[in-house]
Amino acid sequence: MILAGLQKNSFIDFPGKISCVLFTTGCNFICPYCHNADLARGEYPARFKLAQVIDFLKSRRGMLEGVAITGGEPTLEGGIVDLCRAVKSLGYPVKLDTNGSRPAVLRGLLEQGLVDFIAMDIKAPLNDYHPFSRDPKIHERLAASIRMIMESAPAYEFRTTCAAPFVNANSVETIARTIEGAACYVLQPFNRRAVCLDPEFNRRQDPTLFPDEMMRLKTLAAPFVRTCMIR
């Protein structure tokens, strides 16, 4: 297994823990505002073998409190089970970032107790994913992942990157109704300085939703979930 990147320290990627971040490469979505464009395209900013990562994690025992695995889309990686099992064998909790498109992989990880926290991105209402995925059944897979996470994940959050024109009051309320009763829903402002998968995305127009609009979206979503926050 080859990993595309390793961030040695993070205070924000694993809620409540000092973590390192492991990056896989390749994604089955085509989100125009994606800020990990090289990873999404399957390119390798760096190359780390699993053995190198394990050696690093062994050397950081007592300093790191968890490991976050992100991408790209980690559930596309054939070695994701082996990676999570190796990390867990060293005593580290595992957080997984996912787009939710592969519920069968999530089920396997959860049934084997290999993930402690799942963060699933929800891009838009489930029937409006055509800008992000060409899979005609993607809404079914996403719905299955949402149900599974809410029923089985030890800890989790759902997240929406708030970038116009994809996100507005109607879409956020629809998403919040879809995950009604969820433990946590996070609204993330789009970073207009990001280099996007579509290089023209934030050049054609300003997709930023400013603080007053973000607060409005939070107010709309909050009644449907236990915790709603802007990060």
- List, for residues 191-209, the tens digit of each pLDDT value: 877 778 888 887 777 888 9
State yes or no: pLDDT of 76 exceeds 80. yes
**CA geometry: angle 161, 166, 167, nearest 5 deg:** 60
Q: What DSSP element (H or E) covers 59? A: helix 50-59
Residue type, 198: D
Q: Higher pLDDT residue, 208 or 7?
A: 7
Q: Spell out the domains of the chain, with CATH numbers in brackets.
A: 2-167 (3.20.20.70)
- Residue 25 sits at φ, ψ, to 5 deg, of -125, 150
What mean pLDDT, rounded, does the chain reach? 94
Euclidean distance between CA atoms 7 and 21, whole angstroms: 5
State yes or no: pLDDT of 1 exceeds 80. no
- For the full predicted model, state whether its pTM sits above 0.85: yes
The answer to whether 124 and 130 are in contact (CB under 8 A) is no
One-character DSSP codes across 3-16: ESEEEEEESSSSTT
Q: Higher pLDDT residue, 146 or 194?
A: 146
Q: What is the mean pLDDT of residues 151-165?
A: 96
State yes or no: pLDDT of 133 exceeds 90. yes
How confident is the model at residue 37, as a pLDDT? 84
How confident is the model at residue 51, as a pLDDT? 92
Q: What is the mean pLDDT of residues 9-29?
A: 96
